[in-house]
A and B are shown apart, each in its own frame.
Chain A
Amino acid sequence: MPLNNTNIVSAAQTKFGVHKGVTLREMFSEAVDKATVDAGVPKKNIQAAFIGSFIPEMLVHQGHTAPLLMDFAGMKGIPATRHEDACASGATALRAGVMAIESGMYDTVLVAGVEKMTSVSTNKATEALAAAADDQFESSMGLTFPGVFGIAAVAHMQKYGTTEEDMARVAVKAHKNATTNPLAQFQKEISLEKAMTPRYIAWPLKLFDCSPISDGAAALVLTSTEKAKQYTDLPVKITGTGQASASMNLCDRSDLTSFSASVDASRAAYEMAGLEAKDMDFAVVHDCFTIAEIIASEDIGFFKPGEGAKALRDGVTALDGDKPINPMGGLKAVGHPVGATGVKQAVVLYRELIGDAGPNQVSKHDTAIMHNFGGTGATAVVTIMRRADA
């Protein structure tokens, strides 16, 4: 049975990028204010908060962040919990919010995500990110995150003939879409030639195959169907949600050309929504690395295994294609403040679905899917949304 009682009534993000002198709590507060008071949702109506944040302990030396952030945002008192599932922290917070509404325990909740990554050196940030891989069996021999996706890329190239140029095209598309997204970290087109610059990070992945290190926050308000009316005439309904886990270690996986957690979470979400991939008008997927978008486009069922690169080359996933993917620029160009990303992806779905995406508006926007995954792909969360009047 599709979920029927969870509605997004407002959603917002801060600009993503390098925010010198702006702290974790200030970014959080900015996103929350935009999604609440600025959107006509009084803070006093929020009954509980679910907050995604990956590793503030290492990045800003702060644990127990949920009450701290809520206090600064003027909402102390209500239940507030942080969710940590590496890069999927935002979507697992969203899923907790969905369950809170569907259970009937609450009728109005806040879902938010935040990460402050640029106050430490790039090496320190890389070390913090590496905590999302298996420290004893993989990271300790020098496997990095780009390395994880480099291994997936080599396997995909060997099995399906995907090329480095195909991967570069993901970056070109992301940057092109982000030129008209003022909230993106990069708003500049890049040529295919530039995307192919051979500055290897983890062969075959190059600099432009990798999402950046970013600061940022995102927030949204979920309500029951009954309460939604008092805030908007055009809520977005969350009709399906799926979450799955897989081995942390790449070596424990039988297939490196697909992420089993993404496939399993997609299947669960489609089943709950009573829909199939062909019913989706567009997708927002977790393109932490360019190869990840190609694989995700196959794992969510938009294309058969091995056909993601061809669809990309043919423009099927472009902003004006039949199946747009990451129409506002993805993680690659918008930025990837880890804990904020999953919530930001939901903000993009909301804006596109209600027709509020400006120059980045996709033409068909009734139903869409978002895919957020964590670390080496050991957690995946897939969420299906539909505009309430669609």
Chain B
Amino acid sequence: MSEKPTVEEYLQNIQDGQFKAYKCVNCGMIIAPPSGSCYGCGSNKMEWANVTGKGKLVSFTVIHIAPDAFAEETPYYIAIIELAEGTRVSARLLGYDPLKPEEVKLGSDVKLDYEDGKTGKKYLAFRAA
């Protein structure tokens, strides 16, 4: 995986259940979702990086009213997850009851997973660890 990463491949990796992040070749910062330039040093040289899949829950919401494409899936969680590698991603959150959001604790440990949407797409997801 040393070729220059692209956004299309990043999205396809999720569809294939093979999430990978970008890594700055210059300073080593892990970046996901993709950016054309490093948040740390500004370099535009990126490579692929595997991640441990470990993360912490930063914040979340439960979507009750959604656009047509997602309406059948409601209610569902969307969360902000901070990966052990330092970068943050938006993802579906699994393993919690969407009707009991009060019980979800920010800072909880979560691990990488995927959700097969009714839209036919696979979503990046994290599950209670």
Return the contact of A144 from the options B7, B65, B73 (Cβ within 8 A).
Answer: B65
Is B67 within 8 A of A203, CB to CB? Answer: no
Give the distance in Å from the alpha carbon of A127 to the alpha carbon of B92 in the complex: 20
A246 CB, min distance to chain B CBs, angstroms: 13
Return the contact of B80 from the options A136, A201, A204, A251 (Cβ within 8 A).
Answer: A251
What 1/0 flags go to B1-19 for Cβ under 8 Å of A? Answer: 0000001000100000000
Using A137-B90, A144-B65, A249-B90 as known contacts, list a sample of 4 further A-B pairs with CB atoms less than 8 Å apart, ordered by residue number in A: A142-B69, A147-B61, A151-B80, A153-B61
Chain A interface residue bracket vs B: 35 or more
A175 CB, min distance to chain B CBs, angstroms: 21
Is B90 within 8 A of A250, CB to CB? Answer: yes
A197 CB, min distance to chain B CBs, angstroms: 13
Is B64 within 8 A of A200, CB to CB? Answer: yes
B29 interface residue (CB < 8 Å to A): no
Q: What would 13 A/B residue contacts be, using CB atoms closer than 8 Å?
A: A127-B67, A141-B92, A142-B70, A142-B123, A143-B78, A144-B63, A144-B67, A146-B61, A155-B58, A203-B61, A251-B80, A256-B59, A256-B80
For B11, list chain A residues within 8 Å (CB).
136
* Chain B residues close to A by CB (< 8 Å): 7, 11, 33-35, 39, 58-70, 73, 75-76, 78-81, 88-92, 101, 106, 117, 121, 123-124
Query: B80: nearest residue on chain A (CB-CB)?
Result: A251
A154 interface residue (CB < 8 Å to B): yes
For A140, list chain B residues within 8 Å (CB).
121
Give the distance in Å from the alpha carbon of A123 to the alpha carbon of B62 in the complex: 18
Is A137 within 8 A of B33, CB to CB? Answer: yes
Return the contact of B61 from the options A136, A137, A150 (Cβ within 8 A).
Answer: A150
A158 interface residue (CB < 8 Å to B): yes
Give the distance in Å from the alpha carbon of A130 to the alpha carbon of B69 in the complex: 12
Return the contact of A151 from the options B60, B75, B117, B123 (Cβ within 8 A).
Answer: B60
A42 CB, min distance to chain B CBs, angstroms: 46
For B106, list chain A residues within 8 Å (CB).
154-155, 158
Knowing A150-B61, A151-B80, A256-B59, say if A251 contacts B67 (CB, 8 Å).
no
For A191, list chain B residues within 8 Å (CB).
none
For B75, list chain A residues within 8 Å (CB).
200, 203
Return the contact of B63 from the options A127, A147, A154, A250 (Cβ within 8 A).
Answer: A147
Is A158 within 8 A of B101, CB to CB? Answer: no
For B64, list chain A residues within 8 Å (CB).
200-203
A252 interface residue (CB < 8 Å to B): yes
